[in-house]
Amino acid sequence: MSAEPDGPEDRLRRFATIWSRAVFPVTSTSSTRPEFEALLLPMARRLSEALRARAFDAEAGRTVGSALVEAHCTDPEVLSRTLDCVDAYLVLYCGEDGDREDLRARSSRIQHAMAAGYAQALRERTLAEQEAIARAALEAQGVVAQALHATEARFRAVFEGAAIGIGIADLEGNILQVNGALRRMFGLSEQGLRGRRVKEWVHPDDAPQTWRLYEELVSGEREHYHLEKAFYRPDGTVLWTNLTVSLLRDPDGEPQYQLALMEDTTERRLLNLRLRYEATHDALTGLPNRTFFFERLEKALGAGEGQRFGLCYLDLDGFKTVNDSLGHAAGDRLLVEVADRLQACATAPGEMVARLGGDEFVALTTGRDTQRTVDELAARIMNALLAPISVDGRDLTVRGSIGIVEGPAGERSAAEVLRSADITMYRAKSAGGNRFELADEEADARAITRHGLTTALPTALDRGEFFIEYQPLVHLGDGSVRGAEALVRWLHPQHGVLSPDRFIPLAEHTGLIVPLGRWVLEQSVLQAREWRDRHGGEALGPLRINVNLSPCQLTHPGLVQDTVDILERTGMAPDALCLEVTESALIGADDDLLKPLRRLAEMGVDIALDDFGTGYSNLANLRRLPVSVLKLDRSFTQNMQQFPADPVDLKIVEGIVSLAHSLDLAVTVEGVETGAQAEQLRILGCDTAQGWYYARPGPPDRLHELALVDATG
Contact positions vs Mg ion (CB under 5 A) = 548, 580, 610-611, 670
Interatomic CA distance for residues 691 and 487, integer angstroms: 13
Rank residues 87 and 580 by Cβ distance to ligand C2E and give the closer one: 580
In whole angstroms, how close is the CB of 526 to Mg ion at the nearest point? 19
In 3-state terms the chain splits into helix, strand, coil percentages (rounded to 5) of 55, 20, 25
Q: Give the contact letters, 477-506, x = binds to ligand C2E (CB under 6 A), - = no.
A: ----------xx----------xxx--x--
Q: Smaller CB distance to ligand C2E: residue 367 or 596?
A: 596
CB 488 within 8 A of CB 550: no
CB 550 → ligand C2E: shortest distance, Å? 4
Q: CA 579, CA 328: separation in Å to the nearest integer?
A: 44
The Cα–Cα gap between 474 and 672 comes to: 10
- For residue 354, the cross-strand partners are 362
Q: Do strands 360-367 and 577-582 pair parallel, antiparallel, or not at all (unpaired)? A: unpaired
Query: Based on CB atoms, which residue is closest to ligand C2E, 331 or 472?
Result: 472
695 binds ligand C2E (CB under 6 A): no
Instruction: Map the footprint of ligand C2E across residues 427-446, applying CB under 6 A.
Output: none
Ramachandran quadrant class, 263 (left: phi over 0; alpha: psi -120 to 50; beta: rest): beta
Sketch the per residue contact string, 546 through 575, with ligand C2E: x for CB under 6 A, - otherwise.
--xxx-------------------------
64 binds ligand C2E per the rule CB under 6 A: no
Output the smallest distance, CB 444 to ligand C2E, in A.
25
Binds 167, which of Mg ion, ligand C2E, none (CB < 5 to 8 A, cut-off by type)? none
Q: What is the largest distance, in Å, between two alpha-carbon atoms of the chain?
A: 122
Asked if residue 700 binds ligand C2E (CB under 6 A), the reply is no
The angle formed by the CA atoms of residues 411, 417 and 419, to the nearest 5 degrees, is: 145
Dist CA 162 CA 157 (whole Å): 8
Torsion angle of C-alpha atoms 175, 180, 184, 187, degrees rounded to 10: 50
Cβ-in-10-Å burial (0-12, 13-18, 19+) of 484 comes to buried
Show contacts with ligand C2E in window 632-661 (CB under 6 A): 634
Residue placing its CB nearer to Mg ion in the complex, 164 or 528: 528
- When CB distances are held under 5 to 8 angstroms depending on the partner's kind, the choice from Mg ion, ligand C2E, none that residue 673 binds is ligand C2E
Torsion of CA 183, 187, 193, 199, to 10 degrees: -110
Q: Looking at 211, 277, 467, 692, which residue binds ligand C2E (CB under 6 A)? A: 692
Asked if 179 and 157 touch (Cβ cutoff 8 Å), the reply is no
The nearest distance, CB 334 to ligand C2E, in angstroms, is: 39
What stretches of 229-265 show up as alpha helix (H) in DSSP?
Answer: none
For Mg ion, the closer CB: 256 or 614: 614
- Quick check: 452 and 675 in contact, CB under 8 A? no
Q: Which is nearer to Mg ion, 444 or 580 (CB)?
A: 580
Choice between 68 and 484, CB closer to ligand C2E? 484
Across-strand partners of 361?
314, 355
358 CB contacts (<8 Å, ≥6 apart)?
A: 319
Q: Report what 488 binds from ligand C2E, Mg ion, none; CB cut-off 5-8 Å by kind.
A: ligand C2E
Q: Does 471 bind ligand C2E (CB under 6 A)?
A: yes
Judged by beta carbon distances under 5 to 8 A according to partner kind, the member of Mg ion, ligand C2E, none in contact with residue 692 is ligand C2E
Q: Which is nearer to ligand C2E, 277 or 692 (CB)?
A: 692
Assess 691 for contact with ligand C2E (CB under 6 A). yes
Least separation in angstroms between residue 511's CB and ligand C2E is 13
Q: Minimum distance between the CB of residue 649 and ligand C2E, rounded to whole angstroms? A: 17
Q: How far apart are CA 349 and CA 352, in angstroms?
A: 8
520 binds ligand C2E (CB under 6 A): yes
Phi, psi for 469 (deg, rounded to 5): -110, 155
- One of 671, 678, 700, 706 touching ligand C2E (CB under 6 A): 671
Q: How far is the CB of 485 from Mg ion (least distance, A)?
A: 6
**By rule CB under 6 A, what string of x and - marks binding of each residue 599-618 to ligand C2E?**
-----------xx-------
* 467 sits near ligand C2E (criterion: CB under 6 A): no
Q: Are 360 and 368 in contact (CB under 8 A)?
A: no
Strands 688-689 and 666-669: parallel
Kindly list the residues in this chain that would bind ligand C2E in the complex (CB under 6 A): 471, 487-488, 499-501, 504, 517, 520, 548-550, 580, 610-611, 634, 670-673, 690-692, 697
